[in-house]
Amino acid sequence: MSKMRKFIVAGFLALTSLALLGVVRNPDIYFLIKKNFTIFSEVYRTVSLEYVDEVDPEKLMRKGIDAMLESLDPYTVMVDEAQQQNMEIISRGSYGGVGLDVGFRGGQIVVVAPIEGYSAHRKGIRAGDVIRKVDGVSVEDLMPEEVQELIDGELGSTVTLTIKRYGIDSPIKFELERQRVEVKNVGYAGLVGDANNMGYILLNRFSKGTADEVRKAIEDLTTNNQLDGIILDLRNNPGGLLEEAVGIVDKFIPQNQMVVETRGRQSKHNNIFATEETPVLPDMPLAVLQNGGSASASEIVAGAFQDYDRAVIMGEQSFGKGLVQTVTQLSYNTALKMTISRYYIPSGRSIQSITYTHDDANSAVVKPDSLRKEFKTRNGRTVYDGNGIAPDIKVDNKEPSLLETSLLRENLFFDFANQYAATHDSLSEPFGSDALYDEFTAFVSEKDFQYQTPSEKHLAKIDSLLNGIEGEGKEHIQELESVIGEKKEQQFIRKRSDLEKRLYLELIARYKGQQGQTAAWLPHDKAVNEAISMLQDNEQYNSILAGSN
């Protein structure tokens, strides 16, 4: 037998073996599924019918499903009927509601912000209003998401909210019509910098229509304005639709460039997504802001820009989510959101920071630095896999002082803004007003505001050890407590600038909404200001992207 013939026969046998292996493996999988499903159904039926205490079969099954999925990863979950709206917001970019965002403040459900143009805003509901009832049902023991589910519903139907407003003794009832609320992915777009020569775009999420919103924002910013750069803010953006992330990159990078590749267990989940459109701004200097809350689609955008050396990434390390989910509709208006692949950005790296072992509920292993692989950007800069996207310029987020945190925890900025809005038709006082700050500190004093410093906690422990013993030690403690008390009072002077910023933002929200609040904050945003400075310095910008720094 010739060598060629032997080679062909050997190849045929190898292929036949692989085919047989596939035939054998698949029946094994299906047999195991059938076997264990039979066992599970027998246990479920027996427990539901014969357990000593009566059990709810639906809750029992849901716990079993949730426990099974928790062993995989935190992103693979059952979506029940009540949670479908969140999926609708992402996939359709809209939902049926009255245009309200609600949240917790001081143990109460309050209106965070009414969305302009919808029934809640048109009927006069304000930020800071406390929601008491929804269609006559008390919301006292409900979570914000549960209240949101009661408020939202079928298009064209009505819902009645009972509101408590500061300065008005009796509750107010509002009958609101539910309509299709279009979700705004671009939270704000405007000009920043002393010369108004930088464009700023705040992106909140990646639901349907995001890329078109960003294109519109770019067109609005560049019309009649000579821009020197664009700042794309992805801080606290949890992600969303992968296709929309690709559509964002489209606006800044030439056609036919790979943005992300997905690789899964099934070949149908292996795809390469590339830019398709002619970029709107192929050359304009670009800065991307991110932090630990920037995940998934946000990291695809930041990672693609970094790998192509198209933008300077600024801020903090991103979250590190490199897993892709798809939603499969199930019976009874439920769905399964399941991880089906991992994604890899243009340099070939994965940004997934955690490996899930599938041993216990969400059991995970963080990839150590020693095992992280090195990759190269287009210009040869070194980047690493396995821990999100590292910023090119690190900008630490300033943590609020203990005083500011305590005031926030007690909702005193929020409550003062409600009181002020109830007694003032407009915000006439400018930022930094002595009169406004004095009014706020007087308000805080009236509320008998107290907070404890670490030094006071330490002294309290020492005092308890002395167990009430009088003497020189006790006198020293009292002297120290007096000194600490004086320094705490001085904090309202030393931290005035930070407290004024927080106070003014809360007040702006009452009169100008979220858009006005964002615009008022930008001049004080450290990361935004550093991005402006960097974009104005062409030498620094080009040096970073060239890998010279």
Which of 321, 367, 385, 415 is catalytic? The answer is 321
Which of 307, 392, 415, 525 is catalytic? The answer is 307
Cα angle: 268, vertex 264, 357; to 5 degrees: 150
Residue 142 CA to its chain's centroid (Å): 22
Residue 214 φ then ψ, to 5°: -65, -40
Contacts of 245 (CB under 8 A, 6+ apart): 206, 239, 259, 260, 297, 298, 300, 301
Classify burial at 112, counting beta carbons within 10 Å of its beta carbon; exposed 0-12, middle 13-18, buried 19 or more.
Answer: middle
CA distances from 331 to 34, 96, 255, 336, 505 (A): 20, 22, 41, 10, 46
Residue 58 CA to its chain's centroid (Å): 32
Q: How far apart are CA 427 and CA 421, in angstroms?
A: 8
CA distances from 174 to 30, 135, 155, 282 (A): 56, 10, 17, 49
Within 13 Å, how many C-alpha atoms sit on residue 545's CB side? 21
Using an 8 Å Cβ cutoff, are 174 and 130 in contact?
A: no
With CA atoms as reference, report the closest residue to 87 among 334, 423, 401: 334
Q: How far apart are CA 83 and CA 143, in angstroms?
A: 14
Q: How far apart are CA 113 and CA 475, in angstroms?
A: 51
DSSP conformation class of 167 = T
Catalytic residue list contains 123? no
Which of 296, 298, 341, 347 is catalytic? The answer is 296
Catalytic residue list contains 321? yes
Using DSSP, how many helices (H) and how many strands (E) does the chain show?
16, 23
Strand (E) or helix (H) holding 542:
helix 538-546
Query: How far separated are the first and last CA of the chain, in Å rounded?
Result: 64
With CA atoms as reference, report the closest residue to 457 among 484, 475, 483: 484
Q: 534 is written with which tokens?
A: 């960097």
Catalytic residue list contains 434? no
Q: Which residues are catalytic?
A: 296, 307, 321
